[in-house]
Amino acid sequence: LEDITLKEGEAEILVSNRNVFYNPVQEFNRDLSVAVLMIYAKTRNKEVSKNGLMKQDGITILEALSATGLRSIRYAKEVQGIKQIVANDISAKAVESIKRNIEHNGIEHLIKPSHEDATLLMYQSRRERFDVVDLDPYGCPTIFLDGAVQCVSDGGLLIVTATDMAVLAGNCPETCYLKYGAISLKSKACHEIALRILLQNIASHAARYGRYIIPVLSVSADFYIRVFVKVFSSQIKCKENTINIGMVYQCTGCESLNTQPLCVRKPSGIYKITPSPCVDQLCKVCKHKQLAGGPIWLGALHDQEFVSTLLCHLNIMTLKTMKRIQGVLNVIHEELDIPLYYTLDRLMSVVKCHTPSMVMFRSALLNAGYNVSYSHANKTSIKTDAPNEVIWDIVRTW
Ligand code: SAM
């Protein structure tokens, strides 16, 4: 087969073998990752030199499932402050392609190709950890998480893509339980539930090794989700993080959502399992039964300080999907730190009423004294701290 040369960002890759995965639709995903790494590498290198933890000669990255090597090559050419990248794949054909592309781009000094099962490689790297571990598999990433949470350094960045949206978004709740240890729900907020199921699963893998996570950025886009989380070691913080895990309940009548943490912190600092889950109770709004989903991550989805820094630096980056990145990050920056959301059209269709304009509905919530924002995961979303009863009172006035 003839080689086809493809250019994306600063990288040029040769694609000749149809067995090696290349998806041009994921350019936004790769652009966003480049942008995040630009900021992360800068702060990480400063942090490391300030704490005198190691020589400040750049960060190390493991791209555990690399295919053509495109992502690693882009990181090497577009992100400042990288010491070394390992571009790994289990397929011999993929590794051939990675090697050719590294050579073609003249970056042999920065990227080391590796032909290994990702899990084995990550277990072998538990002592020599990486600052960044990037997992971009086909479908579900959870089989790689046990290795990944152990081979990312303290304060390191774990980046995970999941593309099995049907499973995460409620079409196969039992498969979701098998793969992610959580029940998914068919809900208008399914994309955010998907993000929160994945974060819960990463947190639970990390906690087995006394490690805890802080989400930096969690994005739902097209047919996939991608999360960027920092991983730290601390048994105490692991325990504290249990208050960020909880169940989600959806009413079978009005579709109202409720969340309940599995543990709460008592003033004495002791963590207590929360009693009487709301699944035993009927929905407060319409008295129907509730479906239980989860456990999900109830903590923050993003580190807003990081998002602000990223937004401020976007103008010095040249990325093809920049407009879209800017748009998504601006909405994320405004997102309230409140789990889940409703959609205006669905709220109104439950009561079979005409849908008012978004501006009018949002104003009604604001006038009632509550906060409201969009979620980047849905264009018609309403994320608010108003109780369900208030939301339905407003719906009924239309
Ligand atoms: N990250 C790539 C990009 O941005 O273009 C795409 C990766 S592709 C979706 C998934 C890759 O994972 C495939 O090339 C496949 O060969 C590889 N893979 C699947 N299972 C693996 C394993 N256990 N260890 C290493 N690589 C694996």
What pLDDT, on a 0 to 100 scale, did the predictor assign at position 23?
Answer: 87
The pLDDT assigned to 336 comes to 98
d(CA 167, CA 396): 34
Does the CB atom of residue 97 touch ligand 1 within 6 A?
no
| Cβ of residue 164 lying under 6 Å from some atom of ligand 1 | no
**What pLDDT sits at residue 77?**
98
Q: Is the CB of 71 under 6 A from ligand 1?
A: yes
The answer to whether residues 15 and 34 touch, using CB atoms and an 8 Å cutoff, is no
- The predicted structure's pLDDT at residue 249: 96
- How far does residue 137's CA lie from ligand 1's centre (Å)? 5
Rounded-to-10 torsion of CA 365, 370, 374, 379: -20
Intra-chain end-to-end CA distance of the chain, in Å: 63
**CB atoms inside a 10 Å sphere around CB 327:** 12
223 lines ligand 1 (CB under 6 A): no
User: What is residue 1's predicted lDDT score, i.e. its pLDDT?
Assistant: 62
In whole angstroms, give the CA distance from residue 254 to residue 252.
6
The finding on whether 118 has its CB within 6 A of some atom of ligand 1 is yes
Q: How far is the CA of 121 from the centre of ligand 1 (A)?
A: 13
Spatial neighbors of 389 by CB under 8 A, at least 6 apart, are 284, 285
Cα-based distances in Å from 316 to 141, 313, 330, 352:
32, 6, 17, 48
Nearest to 202 by CA among 165, 222, 232, 167: 232
The first and second tokens of residue 355, run together, are 């849908």
- pTM of structure: 0.96
**pLDDT value of residue 49:** 67
> What per-residue confidence (pLDDT) applies to 51?
67
pLDDT tens-digit readout, 65-96: 999 999 999 999 999 999 999 999 999 999 99
Strand order in the sheet with 257-261: 257-261, 245-251, 290-297
3-state secondary structure 113-170: EEECCHHHHHHHCCCCCEEEEEECCCCCCHHHHHHHHHHEEEEEEEEEEECCHHHHCC
Cα–Cα dist 361/370, whole Å: 12
The list of the chain residues with pLDDT below 70 reads 1, 17-18, 49-56, 276-279
Distance (angstroms) between ligand 1 centre and the Cα of 365 equals 46
If you measure from the C-alpha of residue 164 to the centroid of ligand 1, how many angstroms do you get, rounded to a whole number?
15
Separation of CA 201 and ligand 1 centre (Å)? 20
**Residue 90, ligand 1, Cβ within 6 A:** yes
